[in-house]
Amino acid sequence: MRQVKLRITGRVQGVFYRASTREKAQQLGIKGWVKNEPDGTVSAVGQGPDAKLQRWIEWCGEGPSEARVESVEVEEQPIAAFQQFAIIR
């Protein structure tokens, strides 16, 4: 089990990125959150088993079909107590 924080850059707002990220996280059993940032990036925190978390990170590098992801920065974090995966507004 591990937890990471992602910073996703590119065309990632207004393209259903947050909803799609939550849907993928729920499919994989990842807990955490995703939110739009004022600078046009998206931040996300995910926690789960290594293999599933890695699949989620890779998916975040692609995003939904309308997104154009330029980069995904990954930062390891201490485990927090998340109950689900949420969209933060």
The active-site residue, picked from 11, 18, 22, 89, is 18
In sequence order, what DSSP letters do the residues of 33-88 get, joined into one string?
A: EEEE-TTS-EEEEEEE-HHHHHHHHHHHTT-STT-EEEEEEEEEE-----SSEEEE
Task: Say whether 18 is catalytic.
Answer: yes
Query: Which of these is catalytic: 7, 11, 36, 55?
Result: 36
Residues constituting the chain: 89
Closest of 44, 40, 55 to residue 21, by C-alpha: 44
- The yes-or-no answer on residue 2 being catalytic is no
Q: Which residues have a catalytic role annotated? A: 18, 36
